[in-house]
């Protein structure tokens, strides 16, 4: 019997602070990190990374940094840096399991973060991955709806 796997996949959010401010504002550094990370964690990059510098906004907490992302066939990876606050925020969302600890280690080293907080959640709890099971599930749902209509 096949094992039914539910859930779309893991979503890692990584908050890092007390980072190296030079690395937080280095477009090339962030680009190459996003360019190389998918392969290192077993993902498939489907487009080159997009990395932009943002100067910040007068009167805002956001006094500048970098925003970058890379699309992977499994979903996406994003990085947001804030130079003045020495923070970086990273999301890795994937329909495929990956070694979260290894990814976190790579990212902490990439920004020389002195502190970090890792959160991992499983997205799409009601998302069945196996197509044959989905067909049966949909068939059962349709029958249930039709029976409900007949009873009312």
- Positions annotated as catalytic residues are 75, 80, 95
How many whole angstroms separate alpha carbon 17 and alpha carbon 24?
11
How many whole angstroms separate alpha carbon 77 and alpha carbon 99?
14
Cβ-contact 48, 69 below 8 angstroms: no
**Residue that is written with structure tokens 């907080």 in the block:** 117
Three-state DSSP state, 77: strand
Sheet architecture: strand order including 65-72: 50-54, 65-72, 75-82, 87-94, 9-17, 115-123
Q: Report the chain's C-alpha Rg in angstroms.
A: 20
Cβ-contact 93, 60 below 8 angstroms: no
């Amino acid at each position: 019997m096949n094992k039914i796997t539910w859930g779309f996949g893991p979503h890692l959010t990584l908050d890092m602070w007390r980072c190296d401010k030079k690395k937080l504002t280095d477009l090339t550094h962030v680009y190459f990190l996003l360019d190389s990370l998918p392969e290192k964690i077993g993902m498939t990059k489907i487009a080159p990374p997009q990395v932009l510098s943002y100067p910040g906004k007068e009167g805002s907490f956001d006094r500048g940094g970098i925003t970058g992302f890379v699309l992977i066939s499994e979903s996406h990876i994003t990085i947001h840096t804030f130079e003045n606050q020495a923070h970086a925020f990273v999301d890795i969302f994937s329909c495929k399991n990956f070694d979260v600890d290894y990814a976190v280690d790579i990212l902490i080293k990439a920004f020389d973060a002195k502190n970090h907080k890792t959160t991992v959640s499983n997205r799409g709890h009601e998302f069945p991955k196996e197509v044959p099971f989905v067909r049966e599930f949909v068939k059962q749902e349709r029958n249930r709806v039709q029976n409900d209509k007949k009873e009312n």
